[in-house]
Structure 1
Amino acid sequence: MDQSIYKGCSLSYAFSFLLVVVPLVLFHELGHFIVAKLAGIRVNTFAFGFGKELFSFHFKGTDYRWNLIPLGGYVDLFGEVSVTGEIPEDPRHFYNRPKWVRFLVMVMGPLFNILLAFIVFWYLQAQPKNAVKWLDDPITVGYVEPDSAEAKAGLQPGDHILTVNGVEYKHFEKLSYELAISPEMVIEMEIERDGKPQTIVYTMKANKKDGIGDIQFTWASRLLVQKVIEGSPAERAGLQAGDWLERADGQKIFFTPGTNMLFETVQARKEEGVVLVVNRSGERFEAAVVPEKNDKGDYLIGVQIGFDSEVENATFLEAGEAAWQNIVEHSTFALRVLKKMVFGDLSVKAMSGPIGIGQVAKESLDRGLEPFIFLLALLSLQLGIFNLIPIPMLDGGEIFVLLIEGVTRRDFSLGTKVQIKIAGFFFLISFVILVLISDVMKLFV
């Protein structure tokens, strides 16, 4: 690879990473900061970035700093980190505040991240969007990769997926999430083909790069004729824009990622032509079309095709309800991923570090504003959930200690708290190093 291209990609990934991570970390710390200030806890520092201080100002007892390394930020609460010796008789000290106050201070960081995710999801749900109308309920298979485990097990385009491992999925998106976190697991798929039920069993292969399930089939949408070229074979056969094409020479055809089923059928038939089953406003008829050969040697019938879609408009309350559903579904999925990692059912390769996040952020930014802020919301939600895990040095660790102290009505000694935080620090450092190594290894896969 040309070095200038490599450097350009690296810089764009780094910029995209900062663009998505910095506001999430700052918003998280803002949650801690606001509640601490309201509770009368002294906030020594509110910092943007880490490392050497570039400039700062002091306002109402707090130093506001802009530091050299712009990887998020932090809030330094009086007494929170350096817990040594006796606690001074200062009501502004973190450990001199009631447990419920400290609980609110610690939990508000993650909750701010979850709140940010909810607001962004609400905004996105309120936007009119051209949504793909997948052939769902039951899910219809569009394309199956040849020689894949799914193909060898007998899965075919047009199959209706009834259940997977005994669970019914009405939408392909949710099914794809489930399969992604099921690498090396046996998949038992109940399908319907030509009105007859069948069972397909195969082992979900793991993607070599990130260790998640490597899904080798796609969804299907009805095949829409978006445009008919004037004077083309399709026009002579009577096709019109807005028609749905259901079959070609007796075979079901769909719009699906990965292949152009109509184009492939036409190429196979050449001058013999194809007989299409056309659905026009609910009425079906057959149209015989003889393709014409172009300068490149391709046989074309003169149509522009697309997928079935509809413009969705949600009311303000409907958008809020859908946003909350997003929070519940993505939170549940994130917790299931963590559970699978803890029990060894999913590789740590499935997690992304700075490199992986930068790549995904760059790709989403290239697709437009809405995909980027969706990623922002998703990462904000995941950051909030991750920080609630009861690991020392995370907010969840402090919350867990507070809950134990509250239930037992006995406080840990200051020395014990220091030891717990030190153990948590080394655990997190080890975890970060592991993720970074995995991140780098993915570059060579």
Structure 2
Amino acid sequence: MSTVLAFILLFGALVFFHELGHFLFAKRAGILCREFAIGFGPKLFAFKKNETVYTIRLLPLGGYVRMAGEDPELIELKPGLRVGLILDNEETVQKIILNQKSKYPNARIIEIERADIEKDLFIQGIEEEDDEQSKIYKIDPKAQIVENGVENQIAPLDRQFASKPLLARTLTIFAGPLFNFLLAIVVFIIIGLLQGVPSEEAKLGVITEDGAAIEAGLKEGDTVQAIDGEKVETWTEIVEIVRDNPGETLTFQIERDNENIEIDVVPKEVEGQGKIGVYAPMDQSVLSAFTYGFTETWFWIKTIFIILGDLISGGFTIDAFGGPVAIYASTEMVAESGFFNLLRWGAMLSINLGIMNLLPIPALDGGRLTFFAIEALRGKPVSKEKEGFVHLIGFSLLMLLMILVTWNDIQRFFLK
């Protein structure tokens, strides 16, 4: 049960911050965000605040921000349609009632002659009580259309995603992966502040209880000046000497409490390498923690790109990929190894999610950014129909790949 909870919280946090990036930049650009969703499928929980419905859905495999203009608008007000209007004191339309008009006794009933709820924001029609009087009503930019008791805010053109400048659209889409990288930086900084940052000082960190170091009498905080008369100045040099001499007696010249002493240590052989059971010294400074957040994130970004390059050059195989089941199994193992390792694993997953979304694959953020790049080169966007078709094919292939990867993961981890 604890693993399930850890997986849900971990994966949910990654998705939340990814979608939060899209959401905040969309709001900053003035785009109407209809829904902020974590998960897919049926709603488990929902509430509305201001213009946006916030939902948690059944399948915790992703999330989305539904922005006005990305999909065809839901309502079209055609001539001849009878609707109810809720007006304010200035006769400006606040609500347009499509059905169940009897539930709104104060609604003014009209038969539509013409209407524009995107550009000019008006509705013209003949009132029910006066068949000969046609009147034009101004529509509030935040007016609601009510259908079957459900309210949906209209989306004027200036609130729709496609109407925004190319830069604003690009930043809105790029912000999702960006927030994944920022989350990783913050997590690594937290680890650095709480646990410390591995230092290159030639000092001994935490001593394990069953290693050669504690048996020989070495202590945490000892400064290593030389090993077998060979001067050492960094932690890496200590590790290399110990690693290359399993089973051999090494004389450590150390400084402890302002005294110079020598201690003989025999590294134990572990998988052909020497080990003495000592961790690297930790730097507890705030500056080092902040530096660590950026350097560690950059290290994993480079590492993941190297792995992707190896996959491409070596050929794709289904075993090279891992889906939600593999992430769950790995999370279970990492969670058992301690809280800080779980945090580190979450940061690495966040970086991976950010990079994967930036790949130029249709239906992912990188695919959409690719179309924006084409638009910048052409001076005009690709038609919605062509772009939508490409994204549909890409989404279908991604779903197929996920099914294959998930089945492969189930076989690997549960059907051995």
Same topology, TM > 0.5: yes
| Match status 1:404 vs 2:374 | yes
Q: CA separation of 1:84/1:287 partners in 2, compared to 1, >3 Å: closer, same or farther?
A: closer
- Cα displacement (A) at 1:241: 4.9
Instruction: Give yes or no for contact 1:18–1:71 (8 Å, CA) kept in 2.
Output: no
Higher deviation after alignment, 336-345 or 33-42: 336-345
Which residue in 2 is equivalent to 1:60?
Answer: 50
- Structure 1 vs Structure 2: percent identity of aligned residues? 30
Structure 2: runs of 5+ lacking an equivalent: 77-116, 120-156, 203-210, 229-239, 255-259, 267-274
Moved more, 55-64 or 340-349: 340-349
- The amino acid that maps onto 2:16 is L
Q: Pick from 177, 185, 188 the counterpart of residue 118 of structure 1.
A: 185
Match of 1:111, as an amino acid? L
Inter-partner Cα distance in structure 2 for 1:240 and 1:334: 41
After superposition, what is the alpha-carbon deviation per residue over 1:34-84, rounded to whole angstroms, capped at 9, x for unaligned?
111121111111123322223422222211223333444321111214489
Aligned to 1:51: 41
Q: Are 1:327 and 2:327 matched, yes or no?
A: no
- Structure 2 distance, partners of 1:110, 1:308, is 37
Distance 2:73 2:387 in 1: 8
Does the alignment pair 1:104 with 2:171? yes
Q: Check conservation: 2:15, 2:38, Cα contact below 8 A.
A: no
Counterpart amino acid of residue 23 in structure 1: A
Q: Distance in 1 between matches of 2:289 and 2:199?
A: 18
Q: How does 1:41-440 map to 2 (within 5 A)?
A: 41-82=31-72, 88-89=118-119, 90-129=157-196, 224-227=212-215, 240-242=217-219, 278-279=251-252, 281=254, 306-345=276-315, 347-440=317-410
Query: 1:386, CA displacement in angstroms?
Result: 0.7
- Identify which range, 24-33 or 116-125, moves more after superposition: 116-125
Distance 1:382 1:352 in 2: 12
Question: In the alignment, residue 44 of structure 1 is paired with which amino acid?
Answer: R
- 1:16–1:58 CA distance, 2 compared to 1 (3 A): closer
| Gaps in structure 1 of 5+ consecutive residues | 1-10, 136-222, 228-238, 248-252, 266-275, 289-304
Distance 1:402 1:49, change over 3 A: same
Q: Residue 361 of structure 1: CA displacement?
A: 1.1
Letter paired with 1:373 = L
Where 1:433 maps in the other structure, the secondary structure is helix
1:121–1:377: 8 Å Cα contact kept in structure 2? yes
Partners of 1:370 and 1:344 in 2: how far apart? Answer: 33
CA contact (8 A) 1:53 1:66 kept: yes
Secondary structure of 1:343's partner? helix
Pairing partner for 2:18 from 18, 28, 33: 28
Q: Is the 8 A contact 1:116 1:380 kept in 2?
A: yes
CA distance in 2, matches of 1:327, 1:130: 14
Say if 1:126 and 1:430 are closer, same or farther in 2 by CA, change over 3 A: same
Q: For the Cα contact (< 8 Å) 1:128–1:311, is it kept in 2?
A: no
How big is each residue's C-alpha offset from its partner over 1:357-405, in whole Å with a ceiling of 9 and x where there is no partner? Answer: 1121122222221111111111011101111111111111111111110
User: Do the aligned residues in 2 keep the contact of 1:130 with 1:309 (CA within 8 Å)?
Assistant: no
Name the CA distance, whole Å, in 1 between partners of 2:263 and 2:31.
Answer: 76
Normalised TM-score (structure 2) = 0.63
Distance 1:92 1:406 in 2: 22
Q: CA RMSD in A?
A: 3.7
CA change 1:42–1:367 in 2 (3 A) is same
Amino acid at match of 2:171: L
Indicate the SS of the match to 2:213.
strand
SS of 2:54's equivalent in the other structure is strand
Gap change, CA 1:77 and 1:287, over 3 Å in 2: closer
Give the Cα separation in 2 of the matches to 1:12 and 1:79. Answer: 41
Q: 1:441 to 1:40 in 2, by over 3 A?
A: same
The answer to whether the 8 A contact 1:130-1:310 is kept is no
Count of residues in Structure 1 that have an aligned counterpart in Structure 2? 302
Partner of 1:327, secondary structure, is helix
Per the alignment, do residues 397 and 287 of structure 1 end up closer, same or farther by CA in structure 2, a change over 3 Å counting?
Answer: closer
Amino acid at match of 2:15: V
CA contact (8 A) 1:277 1:284 kept: no
- Name 1:214's counterpart in structure 2: none
Q: Verify the 8 A CA contact 2:19 2:65 in the aligned structure 1.
A: yes
Alpha-carbon distance, 1:314 to partner: 4.5
Q: Kindly indicate whether the alpha-carbon contact (under 8 Å) linking 1:17 and 1:354 is maintained by their aligned counterparts in 2.
A: no
SS of alignment partner, residue 48 of structure 2: strand
